[in-house]
Structure formats: C-alpha cells, structure tokens
Amino acid sequence: MITMVCPLCKNTSRRLFQKHGYWIRECEGCSHQFAEITHWEGYVDRIYGDHYFRGGGAGYPDYFNEEKLLVAHGRRYARLMSNYSKPGRVLDVGAAAGFILKGFEEMGWIAKGIEPNIGMVNHARSRLGLDVEACTLEEFRSSDQYDLICMIQVVAHFVDPRQAFRVAEQLTKPGGFWLIETWDRRSWTARCLGQLWHEYSPPSVLHWFSAASLRHLAREFELREVAHGRPMKWIRSSHAKAIAVDKLGGASLGRLILGVSSIFPNRLPVLYLMDDVFWALCQKSSFAPEQ
Ligand SMILES: [Zn+2]
C-alpha cells in the first residue's frame, strides 16, 4: 500500500477510488483530494503537449475555436477587478495562447504571461503581440512584482501547489491580488455526481479544492479572500460535447448532454450552467516586509 502525504498539510492520506487508472486520495487531516501520481518525470511536457489543446479528451477539442469567448472572459474579469484596483501589471499563469490575457490588455492592464507549451507561447507572441514566457510558475524567476496574478483554471493542475503559491506570493506587490478560478469539489454538481464528476480527470487535473480549502491555503501565504463568486462561463458547443464524451463517458448525464448538444453546431457558444466552478479574489497585506 502506497502511503502519500497531503501536498497541502503533510498529513497522511487514504485512497478513495480510481479514475482513468489513477487513484484519487483524500487527506486525513484537511480533506484535500489529490491524484496519486508516482511518475513525475516529464509530466508537464507529457500532459500539456499540443494534443491537450487540440485533441479533445481531457483538454480541448480545439482551443483556438474558443478565442473570442476567452478574450471576453478576460475582459469580464478585468471589469470585476475594476471594483478593487486600477489597471496595473498582471501576470497570467498558464496563459496558453494568451486569449484571457488579451482581454486584460484590452482593458488597460500591462500584460505578462507564462505558459509551458511552446506552441501556445509562440501564438501569444506572434499573433497577439503579448509578452509570454515558456515556463511553469514553479520555474518562473523574476525580480518584477505584479498588481495581479491570474490563476484561471490552473491551481488544480499544479504539481506542487505550495511551491507554486510560494512563488506567486513573492511575485505579488504588497496590496496586490490573486484571481483564482477553479473547480469546487463541494459544489452540488460534484456531490451529486460523486465519482462520476467530470472534473475527476487525472492525470491532467491533480487537485480538487473547495472554496474553503483554497481560502485556507491562501491565508497561509498571507493573502486574505476579499470576494468570491461563480463565473459566467461560455464554451463552444464542441467543447461541451467533448466533456460529455470523455469525462462523463457512458454515464446517463453524459448521454443526455451529448444528445441535447448534438443538435447544436460546434461553434455555437453555450453557457456552462453547472455550479462546480468558482472564482476567488485574494489580497496580500499592504505592509511591505522589512528587508
Ligand atoms: Zn491535508
């Protein structure tokens, strides 16, 4: 029996159930759920190759189809941020082809992104003129600090969330913000679907947070949650079909979604109606630490 400690609190954990050949574990201390992965060598390249963005399955059927929706998603978040901060310097973590970052730039933010997939980085640079670097947050080194760090659909994919948050904290100006969007394992959707929940999809998804567990972790890095909510999330019909086929498989909900969505053209935008995704805005204390 493999014993693995919780990546958040270092307590012992137990196996819950298997999905796609991987065990999903739960911490016996803080209840955090995470995937049991023993082979990390080349993990990021293996999971976030071009197939993740074009091949359907656990990723996207065609990420580029979602450009307009994602740019609009970025603009929506920038409008949300205007309630808390003037536009400043934003760092988008896992920026992919730069679409969400572009939305922020259009709303006056000075945009910087990091993304491990080199093809995506090249697209963001050459087609959108964005400053995007090819690396993960854990690898990113910079003396710059940012007013906002965006982690949209990325914290569930961190190999080591503590290390990633440690780096994020160092990159955040005093009084700066983290905007996080991720899946909520305490949502009604997740609880009703149980093991069939479509976001139990290792090995690309590694961590299943709840709003409370994320808030708790951010607090350990001296960031306090100032607001949270549920995003208006638009996806292409083709993406909804891919979720139904790959993540829900033969489950009756999957067949239902596939049946309903099959009458829509692939490029039609559809509103993601489930309650299992949330955003949280956390702020770092304004007091600069003594040097
Ligand atoms: Zn734990």
pLDDT in tens, the chain (291 residues): 566 899 999 999 999 999 999 999 999 999 999 999 887 778 777 787 777 777 655 566 677 888 998 999 999 999 999 999 999 999 999 999 999 999 999 999 999 999 999 999 999 999 999 999 999 999 999 999 999 999 999 999 998 999 999 999 999 999 999 999 999 999 998 999 999 998 998 998 999 999 999 999 999 999 999 999 998 776 666 766 676 666 555 566 666 766 766 666 666 776 666 788 999 999 999 876 554
Supply the pLDDT for residue 1: 55
C-alpha 210/C-alpha 277 separation (Å) is 10
Phi, psi of 213 (to 5 degrees): -70, -35
Q: Ligand 1 center to residue 197 CA distance, Å? A: 21
Per-residue confidence (pLDDT) for residue 245, from 0 to 100: 64
Q: Whole-prediction pTM value?
A: 0.86
Q: What is the CA(8)–ligand 1 centre distance, in A?
A: 5
CA 161 / ligand 1 centre spacing (Å) = 12
Task: Give residues whose Cβ lies within 5 Å of ion ligand 1.
Answer: 6, 8-9, 11, 27, 29-30, 32
Q: Quick one: which of 84, 157, 144, 159 has its CA closest to 113?
A: 144
Q: Note the pLDDT of residue 50.
A: 76
Token look-up 């969505």 returns 261
| Gap from CA of 144 to ligand 1 centroid (Å) | 32
Using the Cα atoms of residue 33, residue 39, residue 41 and residue 44 in order, give the sign of their dihedral. Answer: negative
How would you list the strands of the sheet with 172-183, edge to edge? 131-133, 110-114, 89-93, 146-152, 172-183, 277-284, 223-229
Residue 83: is it exposed, middle or buried by C-beta count within 10 angstroms (0-12/13-18/19+)? exposed
pLDDT value at position 3?
A: 67
User: What is the predicted pLDDT for the residue at 124?
Assistant: 96
pLDDT at 52: 76
pLDDT value of residue 194:
93
Count the neighbouring beta carbons within 10 Å of the beta carbon of residue 252. Answer: 9
Helices within 4-98 (DSSP H only): 43-47, 50-54, 67-81
How far does the centroid of ligand 1 lie from the alpha carbon of residue 16, in Å? 14
End-to-end CA distance of the chain: 46
CA 140 – ligand 1 centroid, Å: 26
Please count the helices (runs of H) and the strands (runs of E) in the chain: 10, 13
Q: pLDDT at position 61, please?
A: 66
Three-state DSSP at 279 gives: strand
CA distance 114 to 138: 11
